[in-house]
Amino acid sequence: GAVVSQHPSWVICKSGTSVKIECRSLDFQATTMFWYRQFPKQSLMLMATSNEGSKATYEQGVEKDKFLINHASLTLSTLTVTSAHPEDSSFYICSAGPLLGDQFEQYFGPGTRLTVT
């Protein structure tokens, strides 16, 4: 149980185009989802907290207009990288949780590798 999927697993796009990444909780409902970015040999950096039915909360230094987050249902959050540039190339990971009654655990998706050429 508590499986989170991401789609696509990898994507290559041209500079200036937009890319949408989906994060789904497959067997549970998630009022909160988190989006992280991971650079090679570096830690996961929290980008934003996505709450179902309300605006996402972005971490300091993350551009809201560049990284659009939508959490329209209890099982789906999307991250759209707008007007992508090579410096946006990275590994994007989402998580969902906690489950009702479990204060702490988050469940992570397998990640999406974005390459901007």
Partner 1 sequence: GNSVTQMEGPVTLSEEAFLTINCTYTATGYPSLFWYVQYPGEGLQLLLKATKADDKGSNKGFEATYRKETTSFHLEKGSVQVSDSAVYFCALSRGATNKLIFGTGTLLAVQP
Tell me if 103 contacts partner 1 by CB under 8 A. Answer: yes
d(CA 1, CA 100): 14
Q: Cβ(23)–Cβ(8) under 8 Å?
A: no
Using the rule CB under 8 A, give the single segment among 12-20, 36-44, 64-72, 79-87 that binds partner 1: 36-44
Query: Considering only residues 22, 28, 31, 44, which one is a binding residue for partner 1 as defined by CB under 8 A?
Result: 44
70-79 core/surface letters (b: 16 or more CB in 10 A; e: else): ebeeebbbbb
CB 30 within 8 A of CB 96: yes
Among the listed ranges 10-18, 39-47, 67-75, 79-87, the one in contact with partner 1 (CB under 8 A) is 39-47
Smallest separation, CB 44 to partner 1 (Å): 5
Q: Which is nearer to partner 1, 9 or 73 (CB)?
A: 9
The smaller minimum CB distance to partner 1, of residues 80 and 106, is found at: 106
Backbone angles phi, psi at 49, to 5 degrees: -110, 125
In whole angstroms, the minimum distance from the beta carbon of 36 to partner 1 comes to 8
Give start and end residues of each alpha helix (H) in the chain: none
